[in-house]
Structure 1
């Protein structure tokens, strides 16, 4: 194939919901708070190791707050998804970007998940399961109503698509 004949993979068209940034920030803050609290409590209780434990708690807090401030906005810029009549396309990752494509004929199940934190932000995750050894494709950070519509649309398309999903 020559350069002119090569097919280029374009980025999926859709961004996740803007509320996903706050959802990701909240998850990172919660993930940071637990080890910081444990280290701080241990530092308060264990006199000989107090300075080291409190220093570790401070380092984890600074690192966690830095990640919380920077990563969700970056993730929002790189996470993309799209559904066509032929396939589901997802691009995720910040440093190591992953592009996943699931042809409609390979889709086995479509699920929506709304954890407690996602429910708070009115978000949902759509999981598309295929026979791939790589595992399911997840589209996180969708408006919960859009996720329900997307799951219904995928169900209709896959039902009408010939193939045995293996």
Structure 2
């Protein structure tokens, strides 16, 4: 099968909000602090720890620092989304890449959500539920205004689609 021809699947057109990088960096840094707290507690509560445990702890501590430094930029580079009159298309992941396409006729619900930290960054996520056993499509970290517009557009488009979304 020729994947270079006109039938090749193209990547979704839109990136998430650039502010998602700061949001992901902050959430990863919080995870780093939790990891370090657990490691310090283990260090204090396990006085006769073996050498392998120390090496493992150092490795975890270093990985916890690298994650907020690298992951947000890579995640921003790879996460994409698009809504057309016929489908919702998402791509997520930078190690394991997942592409999902849901025909508009299969959309059952469109929800938006916003955590407290997302609110600080002016971000919102959209969840598109379909009749698929693979679960919903999620578009993370859109600007609030973009998310509102996409929800309104999807509501309008799905209201015009024929079929029962099952």
Q: Do they superpose with TM above 0.5?
A: yes
1:33 aligns with 2:33: yes
- CA RMSD across the alignment: 2.2
C-alpha distance in 2 between matches for 1:141 and 1:50: 43
Shift in alpha-carbon separation, 1:141–1:43, aligned structure 2, 3 A: same
Tell whether the 8 Å contact from 1:43 to 1:53 is kept in structure 2 after alignment. Answer: no
1:158 is matched with 158
SS of corresponding position for 2:141: strand
What's the CA shift for 1:52? 6.8
1:85 is matched with 85
Structure 1 portions without partners, runs of 5+:
none
What's the CA shift for 1:44? 2.3
C-alpha distance in 1 between matches for 2:77 and 2:144: 20
What's the CA shift for 1:25? 1.1
C-alpha distance in 2 between matches for 1:140 and 1:164: 26
TM-score w.r.t. the length of structure 2 is: 0.90
C-alpha distance in 2 between matches for 1:4 and 1:31: 41
User: Which one is further off, 8-17 or 23-32?
Assistant: 23-32
Shift in alpha-carbon separation, 1:50–1:30, aligned structure 2, 3 A: farther
C-alpha distance in 1 between matches for 2:95 and 2:118: 25
C-alpha distance in 2 between matches for 1:145 and 1:130: 24
Shift in alpha-carbon separation, 1:103–1:33, aligned structure 2, 3 A: same
C-alpha distance in 2 between matches for 1:4 and 1:154: 30
1:12 aligns with 2:40: no
C-alpha distance in 1 between matches for 2:32 and 2:95: 21
C-alpha distance in 1 between matches for 2:110 and 2:162: 17
Shift in alpha-carbon separation, 1:5–1:69, aligned structure 2, 3 A: closer
What's the CA shift for 1:4? 8.3
Structure 2 portions without partners, runs of 5+:
none
C-alpha distance in 1 between matches for 2:38 and 2:108: 42
C-alpha distance in 2 between matches for 1:135 and 1:54: 40
2:95 is matched with 95
1:71 is matched with 71
1:145 aligns with 2:132: no
